[in-house]
Amino acid sequence: MSDEGFVIDHVILGVVDIDAASERLREEHGLGSVPGSMHLGGTSNRIVPLGPECFLELLGIEDTSKDDGRWLEATLRGEDRVLWWCLGVRDLDDTAARRGLPIRVGQARNADSDTLTFRSAGMPQYPLPFFLELIEEPERRHRIQAERYAAAGHACAPTGFTWVEVGDHQPVLEGWLGPDHGLPVRYAPGTGPGIHACGIATSDGEIALR
């Protein structure tokens, strides 16, 4: 296990039509979602809360005249897919310093004006996972996540991620995270770099998203 305390904070599912994708997740898997935070770069999002420490983020194309929306459209090429992942860490200053990464501060505000302040590192290194640390007290995040979980109205009681699948860059990923990262990673040769799928544990069995 890595001494950096890696955990899967969230997985990002890129979608062409965010409303259609959220309905499909509910109909096919029993996963509900809630509105996410405001985005200014041409994307929108919804949150599928999976427990107090993790969530699935639906990232949708909103405005292709803006940089992020244009990038997402070009990356998805008309198909929804698991796109990226984010790791929570014990000490972001240490994690960033080991990799020579700058740290950025941001805020996520939901529809009820609840705001979470976070710091991140490594986002420009896509499709490698980036790193996140909340500035807020853990109890506050747990409260917000519990409220989101209840509001989502899941039909399957999800409890978190069971695995992630990545493609042809095992040496690169292990160089990025260290060989003893302790994360439930599966490798799928021939599928290209980056994350391609994830597993979610629920009361009705495991869900695999691709």
Question: Is residue 1 one of the residues assigned to a domain?
Answer: no
Task: Please state the pTM of the whole predicted model.
Answer: 0.95
Question: Is residue 62 one of the residues assigned to a domain?
Answer: yes
Contacts 24+ apart (CB under 8 A), 148-153: 148/34, 148/47, 148/49, 148/55, 148/110, 149/49, 149/50, 149/51, 151/32, 151/34, 152/31, 152/32, 152/33, 152/34, 152/47, 152/48, 152/49, 153/32
Range of the domain at 51: 7-175+183-209
Question: Is residue 68 one of the residues assigned to a domain?
Answer: yes
Model pLDDT for residues 61-117, shown as the tens digit of each residue: 999 999 999 999 999 999 999 999 999 999 999 999 999 999 999 877 665 656 778
Asked if 128 and 122 touch (Cβ cutoff 8 Å), the reply is yes
Model pLDDT for residues 151-198, shown as the tens digit of each residue: 999 999 999 999 999 997 789 999 999 999 999 999 998 888 899 999
CATH number, domain of 20, equals 3.10.180.10
Question: Is residue 2 one of the residues assigned to a domain?
Answer: no
- The bridge status of strand 81-88 relative to strand 7-15 is antiparallel
